[in-house]
Amino acid sequence: MASERILELLRRPVDADEYTEIRELWKTHSIAEDNRDLPGLISTLTEDCVYEVRGFDDARWEGHEGATRFYTELLTAFPDIHFDLTSIVIGPQGVCEEARVTATHEGRWLEHEPTGERLEWRNAIFFPWDPSARKFKGEMVYTDLAFPAA
């Protein structure tokens, strides 16, 4: 049986104006990320946002400070990171995207020392929508990233 939280998500009404708002905010977030504009990116997130990387070290960052740390660490570890979007779903619950990611591992990422290797992996990322704040509540990242053997 579905939990109350899941039922609430399923019952969210579809509204064309809100859909447009979610899509436009996702575009703002993505453009800011591509431009390495951390203040612009953080402006799309709730104060209590949560960033999680699941399936790979299961790391977690909380709040604007945590989201800033997440992006600073990610962009330091992979300064040339590039996301090629392969799928996207937008609805009243938020955004889900899938991307092929390429990057050179030039700095420490989570528990992994830099390898200097050019890596390629896939991510699925959920951007949960907060209908009251009209912003994203963070990101849940699922990845198949595997580092080369040391």
Give residue for tokens 């779903």.
89
Q: Is the pLDDT reported for residue 5 higher than 90? A: no
Amino acid at 53: V
Residue 116: pLDDT over 70:
yes
pLDDT at 29: 97
* pLDDT tens-digit readout, 57-66: 779 999 999 9
Take residue 15 and report the two structure tokens written for it.
């509204």
Q: Per the confidence metrics, is the pTM higher than 0.75?
A: yes
Lowest-confidence pick of 16-25, 58-67, 78-87, 138-147: 138-147
Helices and strands (DSSP H and E) totals, the chain = 4, 6
Are the C-beta atoms of 137 and 45 separated by less than 8 Å?
yes
Quick one: which of 116, 41, 124 has its CA closest to 77?
Answer: 116
Q: Which helix (H) or strand (E) holds 7?
A: helix 4-11
What secondary structure letter does DSSP report for 42?
Answer: H
Rounded mean pLDDT of 38-45? 97
pLDDT band at 149 (very low <50, low <70, confident <90, very high): low
Q: What is the pLDDT of residue 35?
A: 95
**pLDDT for 6 beyond 90:** no
Interatomic CA distance for residues 11 and 39, integer angstroms: 33
| Kind of pairing between the strands at 45-54 and 135-143 | parallel
- Beta bridge partners of residue 142, listed in sequence order: 54, 124
Average pLDDT, the chain: 93
The answer to whether 121 touches 101, Cβ cutoff 8 Å, is yes
Is residue 127 within 8 A of residue 134, CB to CB? The reply is no
Length of the chain: 150
* Averaged pLDDT, 100-119: 94
The first and second tokens of residue 94, run together, are 């938020």
pLDDT score recorded for residue 148: 66
